[in-house]
């Protein structure tokens, strides 16, 4: 969690991830734009008094066992300890370990940890890391297949994902399920969880590819229980040890807590009568027996830090407004008082899950007025120390919409540009549910822009309205004097009020944005689009060229390629319409070069790059190349919606023209129909509407067109990648917010257009074409 124990892997440094024995250098030339926590990439430390779980280790070590193992039981059954012992028993380095927590509930973050863990054992294709660092890259189509290939190609690898119950994002779970299909014979994927319902365990059972370790397997036997009780030096007699084993039903946490209580009280007569294995939290026992035996200072410290997911001395000092927390944490960990060190340096710690849950409940009951200030101070400390993701979690836990919104103003865009799209999407969804969006108009502008470029048109509408009606005083994070400049830029992007209004808005944004604002290059491009739609191609080309130059000075390293490639694509379109084919060909090549060598190659806006390049390829007699470029444009179309109306219509116009030149009227007709859908939301797009009407006239009345892959609609293209997964129609519908009937209807249309008869054939055909 902290910078003290994290490793920053970036493009420039190509740093090592970790320094423990057996760690390999991080090899990707692309680097990672966010920090990794070293403590999550290795099994927890096993103390000298750890009780050997030999029986479980042997089961996990079965050579002819199935490739997937699911260890599922409630808290306190020793899942992590058993897996750590198994990892320690294997030759090094052949165990890839990831400790999952709620911060990893973004498929990009989760898969990044998995990729780095695997890369320490066997080389992982650098393309995996490049895709992970690319905003908008398809998890289903790019990341998982490449990472799965790395897993399948490794020999005798064990990948352990601990605490996967922390994952709630279906995409994260889907990614694990997809990886599970790539585990080769002799290797093992081990999932530790409190709840396996998110995973297709029944199907895995039927196919005999999974083994289960449940509570019955994880309970301690008599020998293990005796060893644990003896390690506490509490002096249990055989009779009392047997009684305690019976009462706890072999539940390791129950045995451990009872033994500690007996040692603290100096009691050897009988085990605590209140302890039962049927009560996972054993709250009554902890209150009356164990916590009562701890010094009041320690109980007070543990209770007041219970809202913290992880603890460090400086963080606890800030939260408690005190000093000496580091020494106290070290003492609690050393004396085994429910605090566990997360690193060898003694910098970061966590409280035992059961104890933390109990104490957090006790704090809410006994002193509820303390909870909000504690979370607020934790938020402030994390935000000040570069831990924005952790800070926002504390803000969300405290329902502190004001603090969360304030931090989102400056961290939402960098987080998105680092590839963590799902994280940013969750932040905005939470803020919409827990606060009035109009109260945070600056955040609303960022959210609207985010949803526009990721293809979520309805969400973009909602945030756009909030941005327009909200008020905000004071300078903005980019240095602009007022919100009016951001609002004008957003209005220009949405173009809901026609071309003239778009011209005025883009001009207003350019006049009022701060000189060094990164929003200036896109505002130049928007003004160029407005001039192009007004019919002034020369003026538009000048503005596109100015925008292309400006991105080098103003934009971030991540956004520069998207804006520059788009500006070059727009100049290509202008050159084509002016019949300057040699210049158009040169500009198209520059646009392709920029898009393909960026971490944002999969950006939806790059669809225009490929569509324009396809036009120049057709004119140059390179039909095969043109078809490949058209497929690349088509893959990006589903996320190019009326939220970005001008490039959405431009791209489809160029595709329609290309399809007509290639004698594909069905593909052209599909593009024109989708243009009509955009124009219903934004009817005044200047010359673009006239161009669409002229193309429809050339196309003529619908005939007996033979539909092919080019006729796939945006809705069908959104469903297509999920046909390659394990998901059922119902589950695909849940992922895409569609009914099962709609998914089935789209699937049947895909079969017809691809000329196939089954889901597997559709996937195979789509891969042959290049759509998958």
Residue in the structure block whose two tokens are 């444009």: 633
The pLDDT value recorded for residue 567 is: 95
Range 274-303 average pLDDT: 63
Of 50-59, 485-494, 751-760, the one with minimum mean pLDDT is: 50-59
Tokens of residue 244, six digits: 């305690």
Q: What global pTM score does this model have?
A: 0.83
SS3 category, 213? strand
Radius of gyration of the chain (CA): 29
* Cβ atoms within 10 Å of 121's Cβ, excluding its own: 22
Whether residue 194 has pLDDT greater than 90: no
Tokens of residue 58, six digits: 């042997």
Residue in the structure block whose two tokens are 């898009």: 595
The pLDDT value recorded for residue 597 is: 82
Of 156-165, 288-297, 517-526, the one with minimum mean pLDDT is: 288-297
Whether residue 269 has pLDDT greater than 70: no
The pLDDT value recorded for residue 290 is: 58
Of 126-140, 294-308, 504-518, 735-749, the one with minimum mean pLDDT is: 126-140
Nearest to 754 by CA among 745, 765, 767, 744: 765
Quote the CA–CA distance of 541 and 532 in Å, as a whole number. 8
Q: In which region does residue 138 sit, left (phi positive, over 0), alpha (psi from -120 to 50) or beta (all else)?
A: beta
The pLDDT value recorded for residue 19 is: 31
Identify the band that residue 262 occupies on the pLDDT scale cut at 50, 70 and 90: low
Helices (H) and strands (E) in the chain, counts: 37, 10
CA dist 238 to 53, 231, 254, Å? Answer: 21, 14, 17
Whether residue 412 has pLDDT greater than 70: yes
Q: What is the 3-state secondary structure (H, E, C) of 226-282?
A: HHHHHHCCCCCCHHHHHHHHHHHCCCHHHHHHHHHHHHHHCCCCCCCCCCCCCCCCC
DSSP string covering 549-610, please?
Answer: HHHHHHS-TTHHHHHHHHHHHHHHHHHHHTT-HHHHHHHHHHHHHHHHTSTTTT-GGGHHHH
- Beta-bridged to residue 193, according to DSSP, are 72
pLDDT in tens, 668-710: 999 999 999 999 999 999 999 999 999 999 988 776 677 888 9
Fold observed for domain 483-701: 1.25.40
The pLDDT value recorded for residue 141 is: 80
Tokens of residue 7, six digits: 């490793």
- Beta-bridged to residue 7, according to DSSP, are 36
Whether residue 1 has pLDDT greater than 60: no
The enclosing H or E element of 96 equals strand 95-99
The pLDDT value recorded for residue 699 is: 87
Quote the CA–CA distance of 341 and 45 in Å, as a whole number. 8
The residue extents of the domains of the chain are 6-218, 222-293, 483-701, 715-769
Nearest to 636 by CA among 476, 484, 453: 453
Spell out the residues 6+ positions from residue 295 whose beta carbon is closer than 8 angstroms to its own.
none
Ranges assigned E (strand) in 147-228: 158-162, 188-193, 210-213
At 69, give phi and psi (nearest 5°). Answer: -125, 130
Q: What's the CATH number for 715-769?
A: 1.10.10.10
* Cβ atoms within 10 Å of 379's Cβ, excluding its own: 27
SS3 category, 328? helix
Nearest to 224 by CA among 251, 243, 247: 251
* Cβ atoms within 10 Å of 533's Cβ, excluding its own: 25
pLDDT in tens, 211-250: 888 888 888 888 888 887 777 655 677 777 777 777 777 7
Range 103-127 average pLDDT: 89
The pLDDT value recorded for residue 334 is: 77
Task: Specify burial of residue 417 (Cβ count, 10 A radius: 0-12, 13-18, 19+).
Answer: buried
Please say whether the beta carbons of 44 and 34 come within 8 A. Answer: no
Range 389-412 average pLDDT: 93
Range 752-761 average pLDDT: 92
Of residues 276 and 366, the one with the higher pLDDT is 366
SS3 category, 312? strand
Whether residue 2 has pLDDT greater than 50: no
Nearest to 711 by CA among 646, 633, 645, 659: 659
Provide the mean pLDDT of the chain. Answer: 85
DSSP string covering 337-369, please?
Answer: SSEEESSTTS-EEEE-HHHHHHHHHHHHHH-GG
Please say whether the beta carbons of 668 and 695 come within 8 A. Answer: yes
Range 18-38 average pLDDT: 51
The pLDDT value recorded for residue 53 is: 86
Whether residue 275 has pLDDT greater than 80: no
Quote the CA–CA distance of 760 and 268 in Å, as a whole number. 66
Distance of CA 108 to the CA centre of its chain: 4
Identify the band that residue 28 occupies on the pLDDT scale cut at 50, 70 and 90: very low
Whether residue 398 has pLDDT greater than 50: yes
Quote the CA–CA distance of 37 and 1 in Å, as a whole number. 6
Quote the CA–CA distance of 344 and 31 in Å, as a whole number. 26
Nearest to 500 by CA among 689, 685, 690, 691: 685
Nearest to 566 by CA among 624, 517, 536, 526: 526
Fold observed for domain 6-218: Rossmann fold (3.40.50)
Spell out the residues 6+ positions from residue 101 whose beta carbon is closer than 8 angstroms to its own.
40, 163, 166, 309
DSSP state of 643: T
The pLDDT value recorded for residue 261 is: 65
The pLDDT value recorded for residue 266 is: 57
Quote the CA–CA distance of 767 and 635 in Å, as a whole number. 12
Of 17-21, 95-99, 109-113, 596-600, the one with minimum mean pLDDT is: 17-21
Whether residue 15 has pLDDT greater than 80: no
The pLDDT value recorded for residue 418 is: 83
Quote the CA–CA distance of 348 and 342 in Å, as a whole number. 5
The pLDDT value recorded for residue 260 is: 67
Range 259-279 average pLDDT: 51
Quote the CA–CA distance of 77 and 194 in Å, as a whole number. 10
pLDDT in tens, 307-327: 998 999 999 999 999 999 999
Please say whether the beta carbons of 772 and 141 come within 8 A. Answer: yes
The pLDDT value recorded for residue 17 is: 32
The pLDDT value recorded for residue 556 is: 52
Identify the band that residue 374 occupies on the pLDDT scale cut at 50, 70 and 90: very high
Quote the CA–CA distance of 484 and 467 in Å, as a whole number. 10
pLDDT in tens, 583-622: 999 999 999 999 988 778 888 999 999 999 999 999 999 9
- Beta-bridged to residue 190, according to DSSP, are 69, 160
Whether residue 770 has pLDDT greater than 60: yes
Quote the CA–CA distance of 608 and 614 in Å, as a whole number. 10
Angle between helices 559-577 and 520-533 (to 10 degrees): 20
Range 502-519 average pLDDT: 94
Quote the CA–CA distance of 305 and 339 in Å, as a whole number. 11
DSSP state of 429: H
Quote the CA–CA distance of 713 and 664 in Å, as a whole number. 15
Of residues 296 and 685, the one with the higher pLDDT is 685
The pLDDT value recorded for residue 533 is: 95
């Amino acid at each position: 969690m902290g910078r003290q124990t994290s490793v920053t892997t970036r493009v420039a440094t190509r740093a090592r991830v970790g320094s423990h024995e057996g760690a390999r250098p991080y090899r990707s030339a692309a680097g990672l734009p966010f920090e990794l926590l070293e403590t999550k990439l290795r099994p927890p430390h096993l103390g000298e008094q750890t009780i050997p779980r030999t029986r479980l280790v042997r089961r996990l070590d079965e050579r002819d066992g199935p490739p997937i193992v699911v260890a599922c039981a409630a808290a306190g059954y020793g899942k992590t300890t058993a897996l750590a012992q198994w990892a320690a028993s294997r030759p090094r380095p052949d165990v890839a370990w990831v400790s999952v927590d709620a911060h990893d509930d973004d498929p990009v973050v989760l898969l990044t940890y998995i990729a780095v863990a695997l890369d320490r054992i066997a080389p992982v294709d650098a393309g995996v890391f490049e895709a992970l660092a690319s905003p908008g890259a398809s998890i289903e189509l790019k990341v998982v297949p490449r990472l799965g290939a790395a897993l399948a190609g490794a020999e005798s690898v064990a990948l352990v994902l601990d605490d996967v119950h922390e994952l709630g994002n279906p995409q994260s779970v889907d990614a694990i399920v997809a990886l599970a299909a790539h585990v080769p014979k002799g290797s093992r994927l081990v999932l530790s969880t409190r709840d396996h319902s998110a995973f297709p365990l029944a199907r895995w059972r039927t196919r005999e590819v999974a083994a289960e370790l449940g509570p019955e397997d994880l309970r301690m036997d008599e020998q293990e229980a005796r060893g644990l009780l003896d390690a506490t030096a509490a002096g249990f007699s055989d009779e009392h040890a047997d009684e305690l084993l019976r009462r706890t039903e072999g539940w390791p946490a129950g045995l451990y807590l009872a033994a500690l209580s007996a040692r603290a009280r100096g009691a050897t007569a009988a085990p605590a009568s209140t302890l039962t294995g049927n009560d996972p939290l054993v709250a009554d026992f902890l209150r009356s027996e164990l916590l009562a035996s701890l010094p009041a200072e320690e109980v007070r410290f543990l209770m007041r830090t219970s809202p913290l997911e992880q603890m460090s001395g400086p963080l606890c000092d800030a939260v408690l407004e005190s000093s000496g927390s580091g020494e106290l944490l070290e003492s609690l960990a050393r004396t085994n008082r429910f605090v566990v060190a997360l690193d060898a340096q003694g910098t970061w710690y966590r409280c035992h899950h059961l104890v933390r849950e109990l104490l957090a409940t006790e704090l809410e009951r006994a002193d509820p007025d303390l909870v909000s200030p504690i979370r607020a101070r934790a938020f402030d400390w994390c935000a000040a120390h570069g831990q924005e993701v952790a800070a926002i979690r504390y803000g969300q836990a405290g329902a502190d919409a004001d603090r969360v919104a304030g931090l989102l103003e400056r961290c939402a865009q960098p987080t998105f540009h680092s590839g963590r799209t799902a994280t940013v999407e969750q932040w905005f969804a939470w803020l919409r549910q827990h606060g009035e969006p109009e109260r945070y108009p600056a955040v609303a502008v960022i959210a609207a822009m985010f949803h526009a470029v990721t293809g979520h048109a309805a969400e973009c509408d909602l945030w756009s309205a909030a941005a327009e009606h909200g008020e905000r005083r004071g300078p903005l994070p980019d240095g602009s004097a007022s919100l009016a400049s951001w609002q004008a830029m957003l209005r220009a992007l949405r173009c809901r009020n026609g071309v003239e209004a778009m011209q005025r808005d883009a001009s207003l944004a350019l006049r009022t944005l701060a000189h060094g604002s990164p929003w200036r290059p896109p505002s130049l491009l928007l003004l160029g689009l407005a001039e192009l739609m007004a019919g002034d191609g020369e003026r538009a080309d000048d503005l596109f060229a100015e925008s292309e130059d400006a991105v080098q000075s103003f934009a971030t390293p991540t956004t520069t390629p998207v804006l520059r490639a788009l500006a070059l694509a727009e100049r290509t379109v202008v050159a084509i319409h002016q019949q300057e084919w040699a210049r158009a060909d040169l500009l198209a090549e520059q646009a392709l070069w920029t898009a393909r060598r960026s971490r944002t190659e999969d950006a939806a806006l790059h669809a225009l790059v490929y569509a324009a390049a396809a036009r120049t390829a057709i004119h140059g007699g390179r039909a095969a190349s043109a078809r490949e470029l058209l497929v690349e444009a088509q893959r990006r179309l589903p996320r190019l919606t009326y939220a970005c109306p001008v490039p959405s219509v431009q791209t489809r116009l160029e595709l329609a023209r290309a399809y007509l030149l290639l004698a594909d009227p069905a593909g052209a007709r599909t593009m024109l129909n989708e243009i009509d859908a955009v124009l219903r939301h934004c009817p005044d797009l200047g010359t673009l509407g006239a161009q669409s009407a002229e193309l429809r006239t050339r196309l003529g009345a619908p005939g007996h067109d033979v539909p092919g892959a080019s006729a796939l609609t945006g809705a069908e293209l959104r469903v297509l990648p999920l046909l390659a997964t394990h998901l059922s129609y119902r589950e695909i519908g849940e992922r895409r917010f569609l009914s099962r009937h709609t998914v089935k209807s789209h699937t049947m249309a895909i079969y017809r257009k691809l000329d196939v008869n089954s889901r597997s054939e559709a996937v195979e055909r789509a891969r042959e074409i290049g759509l998958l």
